[in-house]
Amino acid sequence: MDIETIRGFREKLRQLEREIGWQLKNDTECCGVTLVQCHIIVEIGNNMETSVVDLATTLGLDTSTLSRHINGMVNFGLVDRVLNPKDRRYVSITLTDQGRKVYRSIEDICNAKYTKLFELIPQEKHQQVLESFYLLVDAFITVGRQDGLNCCEGVCGDINKEVNR
């Protein structure tokens, strides 16, 4: 594929990323949570229960950062920590009643928004959009996990070496 097509694709992805981020931020603020808290609540709500380690892996956060967020959410009454009686090192994270209310609100808001989004796309294109989106997400995951494709290696690494001399 030619470089101009790739640049155009990257620009559209940046626009999509900004738009999704802006809309998620606005949608979650009305539920009284931050964007990070929203992601945590949705992951716990989707799984009913999770561990800090699994949640950190899913969200791409280190466990100490996630633990700080969880502490705040415990204090706000959104999540509970449940110690495993057989292994006290394993802590399950669940939503409280208040956390489940926030989760349902987020789900309702997002379902309504994405229903409106699909109403703007011709119905005969819905399956094509979904298939393309799934392929794109899977490709991002694959590329992100491959060795040697790190931005800081190669050109950026050479630039950093020059700047730090």
Domains in the chain, ordered, with CATH?
A: 3-120 (1.10.10.10), 124-165 (no CATH)
Whether 22 shows a pLDDT value over 90: the answer reads no
Beta strands per DSSP E along the chain: 50-51, 79-83, 91-95
Per residue in 51-88, pLDDT (tens digit) is: 888 898 888 888 888 889 999 999 999 999 988 777 77
Query: Structure tokens of 151?
Result: 């931005």
For residue 94, give the DSSP letter: E
Q: Quote the mean pLDDT of the chain.
A: 85
pLDDT category of residue 24 using cuts at 50, 70 and 90: confident
Distances (CA, A) of 23 to 12, 13, 39: 16, 15, 13
Check residue 25 and give its pLDDT. Answer: 76
pTM of the entire predicted model: 0.75
Within a 10 A sphere around the Cβ of 73, how many other Cβ atoms?
25
